[in-house]
Amino acid sequence: MILDENLLKKHLRNPIFTLVSETADSINRPCYVIGGYVRDIFLKRNSKDIDIVTVGSGIELASAIAERLGKKAYLSVFKNFGTAQIKYKNTEVEFVGARKESYTHDSRKPVVENGSLCDDQNRRDFTINALAICLNKDKFGELIDPFQGIEDLQNKIIRTPLDPDITFSDDPLRMMRAIRFATQLQFSIEEKTFDAISRNKERIKIISKERIIDELNKIMLSVKPSTGFLLLEKTGLLALIFPELHALKGVESVEGRGHKDNFYHTLTVIDNVASKSDNLWLRWAALFHDIAKPVTKRYDEKLGWTFYNHNFIGMKMLPGIFRRLKLPLNDKLKYVQKIVELHMRPIVLAEEEVTDSAVRRLLFDAGDNIDDLMLLCEADITSKNPEKVKRFLTNFAQVRKKLKEIEEKDRIRNMQPPISGEEIMQIFALPPCRKVGEIKSAIKDAILDGIIPNEREAALRYMIKTAESMGLTLKNNRNL
């Protein structure tokens, strides 16, 4: 890669670098901007987070700079880690002293000692993240690239600065980071580095689930998430960190009849969703939509391979998977569960005649998530038969049209029945009981089936009729 001097100068014109340079020189400290910020200059990516390394105390340098900035900046000091952070305008600058590290076999937390710039670059995860630019006045703007990181940027390669077996054994999270960077940047992992991930894959067991899920989320948010999951599978990491997804892989045949490989199908669905939506949790729903197919797979002589209720079983599996992976057990889980449970409904509608009743029920059950659900279902059409794809997408367009028409007419999305359970109890002088629920459900079903409009007067008349059929009489008509 030919160094673009103008590009470097443009970034180094940022007043923060002038201030760091002047302050470092005033206290006689070698000082460099290093890591991702430098990498992103050459990749022409925006980066607001700046990492500064100095030979000596990073906290002292940060404190001196914060003093010069006064109230314009906010200083945070992390003594336990020997780091400091300055927030200045829209920029965050991290300061750390150059260091060297050594590891024990059962922990990724290193023993840290003060070191030189060379020591600090040696400990970096990848060559493209070991690039440094001097900020001292006499060498301002000089690039220090001891591992040919610029060449690796040019060739789109992820490679470790030192022996990859040592790099990954010392800090196994770097294996996930290698795959994440390859996915985000659309780079390849250099052969020796890739092989070392496979050899050291078992070391991932010492990494916390929180750190692993952070990398998985970044993979999931990339332009083409399938790249990362394919690399995880090829290196053997997937089976260790996500066995349910790995279980989707493979094809069985009986009497010459096989099913599609649900792992590769799932990856195609994720990419299809990613091309249309940045919603992280919709992407997770795409990943999970067929997660129960391995446990529901059966072979029937007449029907071939079946996966009955895989949507419902998959929805039931999700809390356990979320808990193990340390994904949030809140409304995000409920959202993914709803999408997974309902993902077959629009597909069935697209295969059959679209009735108003079926569309109303889908709208009622999906609520505000109906558009996300439809997007996933369209992404789920991965057939290599263009006629089949065309037919499904045409039918989905009809479903969408019906959804819009019925929503405008009947206001079904997030519908609350016009009569509450409390009102039913008051009108018929009933305690909380099964009959109250049956009346309320009858009203809801009548609206969804198009028997009555979604209006209070019609619902009241239907309620009285339903109650009479159950042998109930009015006790209090003040609410009528």
If asked whether residues 75 and 188 sit together in one domain, one would say no
* CATH number of the domain bearing residue 185: 1.10.110.30
CATH number at residue 71: 3.30.460.10
Q: Are residues 148 and 173 in the same domain?
A: no
Angle at 175 between CA 289 and CA 58, to 5 degrees: 120
Is there a domain that residue 344 lies in?
A: no
Domains contained in the chain, number? 3
108 and 227 share one domain: no
Residues 96 and 144 in one domain: yes
Same-domain status, 35 and 112: yes
Q: Are residues 85 and 173 in the same domain?
A: no
The reported pLDDT for the residue numbered 398 is: 81
Q: Is residue 297 part of a domain?
A: no
Q: Same domain for 149 and 16?
A: yes
Q: Which of 155, 174, 195 is the last residue of a domain?
A: 155
Identity of residue 341: E
The pLDDT score that the predictor gives to residue 17 is: 92
Instruction: Name 369's Cβ contacts closer than 8 Å, sequence gap at least 6.
Output: 335, 338, 339
The answer to whether 73 touches 93, Cβ cutoff 8 Å, is no
The pLDDT assigned to 477 comes to: 64
Whether residues 15 and 91 fall in one domain: yes
Q: Which of 192, 211, 241 corresponds to the end of one domain?
A: 241
| Residue 321 included in any domain | no
CB 380 within 8 Å of CB 347:
yes
In this structure, the answer to whether residues 168 and 151 fall within a common structural domain is no
Q: Which of 155, 172, 205 is the last residue of a domain?
A: 155
Give the pLDDT confidence score for residue 428 in this predicted structure: 87
- Rg of the chain over all Cα atoms, to the nearest angstrom: 30
> In this structure, what are the phi and psi dihedrals at residue 172, rounded to the nearest 5 degrees?
-65, -20
Does the residue 124 lie in any domain? yes
| Confidence (pLDDT) at 392 | 81
Give the Cα separation of 52 and 36 in Å (integer).
11
pLDDT at 4: 67
In order along the chain (480 residues), what is the average pLDDT of each group of 10 residues? 69 89 94 94 87 94 92 88 88 90 65 84 94 95 94 96 93 97 97 97 95 98 98 98 95 81 96 97 98 92 88 97 96 97 84 75 86 93 84 82 76 74 87 88 84 86 87 70
Determine the Cα–Cα distance for residues 431 and 236; give it in Å rounded to an integer.
59
Do residues 106 and 83 share a domain? yes
Q: Is residue 48 part of a domain?
A: yes
> For residue 337, is it within any domain?
no
Q: Are residues 145 and 170 in the same domain?
A: no
Expressed as residue numbers, the domain containing 214 is 162-241
- Residue 433 in any domain: the answer is yes
62 CB contacts (<8 Å, ≥6 apart)? 75, 77, 84, 85, 86, 93, 95
- Are residues 127 and 43 both part of a single domain? yes
71 belongs to a structural domain: yes
